[in-house]
Amino acid sequence: MRVIIIILSFLFLSTPLIGQNNFDPKVVVLLPRVVEIEKGLEKKIEFYEEYGVDYQKEYLIEKKDSLLQVVLRNDSIPNSYKEHFINQIDFAPKLNFVNSLVWNYTESFQGILSLDFEKPLVIAGANSSFSDIELMNEFSQKNNADYLINIDSLIVSKYKRDILVKPVFTIYYQNENRVIRIDPYEYDQFNKAYITVDKKTLNIFFDDLDARSKILRIIKENGDSNKREELKTQKIIEEKRINILDSLFNKGKSIDELEGFNKDSILNTPISSLYTIIYSTNKDKCLAFFVIKKKWDYEGFGGVNDEINVIYCKKEGTSWVAEYQQLGSIKINELSQEENVKESFLKLIDMEFFEENSTKLNNDFWNNELFKESRIKF
């Protein structure tokens, strides 16, 4: 029992990453790329290392073989935690003040993610954090890691009579090959760890509450491999939908003559103001996007801005009848007229213009009643 307690009390993880793919998600926390320690903290750090690090370090090195046997033979320990223990034992020779601070992140992330996922694995790598995305990608692929948590800098300074630790993080998401910066936010209250020896207490304060929360939220939102694959598929569908709408948007702009439209106006909207139009499959219904100039005046300030009107029309014989009109908000932002219209046009994606989880056009979209019920807001 004592062995297990000691292991759990100092769960630090190491570089050797076992080549297994059954951990999901797999997260590697890397050592700080830059460490800045304020002068005058040498004795406090020595005190922490002597009483907070060296005992566990020496014990894990001395008992390595027997500890590995205990861990591997204990069927009650989940595989992800066995991986924790194995890496912790192998990493022991590298333990020092800075590395023991990283332990706080690997342990807390592992514990919290275990509440949401069946097989999460959070380990610490002996490598320093990367600043180059290509190196992050190479390392994550080599080690089957879904995420890399980089500590870009770790600033250790005096706080009251003790120590304040301030990390700056980035997280690399391998599935999308992108880096997410975690902007630091300062709190008046900090996470705190402490050790007490012979009535002498050393407090270590961590200014990382907001950063930890953001990191965990990113990992939880992207989920396990099934959800990540689902999100990847959705992203591909989304990109294809945008490409389809771009093509229809441009095609609608090139129409010179609109057979059956009243040349003077539709609901008092000049036909010359038509920007683009999109038809149903059988060409008996359409959405016409108009841009008109709208004068405005507010407390002595005024001008002319674009207003987007979206009109739903139905063909009756050879004529078009406007059945529904949605007035868009007046556009006073810095986008061009085309960007403003396209912004409204792309809202079709959220209006069931496509079949669910598909790039196939949804013919039910053009049903007059369903269209009205959708309460579109361009």
pLDDT in tens, 259-277: 555 544 565 666 678 888 8
Domain ranges of the chain: 2-223, 235-373
Half-sphere exposure of 292 (CA within 13 A, CB side): 17
Asked if residue 337 has pLDDT above 90, the reply is no
pLDDT in tens, 164-214: 999 999 999 998 899 999 987 766 678 888 899 998 999 999 999 889 999
pLDDT in tens, 55-104: 889 998 999 999 998 888 888 888 888 897 887 888 888 899 999 988 88
To the question of pTM greater than 0.95 for the whole model, the response is no
**Amino acid 16: pLDDT:** 41
Q: Rg (Cα) of the chain, in Å, rounded? A: 30
Asked if residue 257 has pLDDT above 80, the reply is no
- Which two tokens mark 208? 């990382």
Cα dihedral 83, 89, 91, 94 in deg (nearest 10): 160
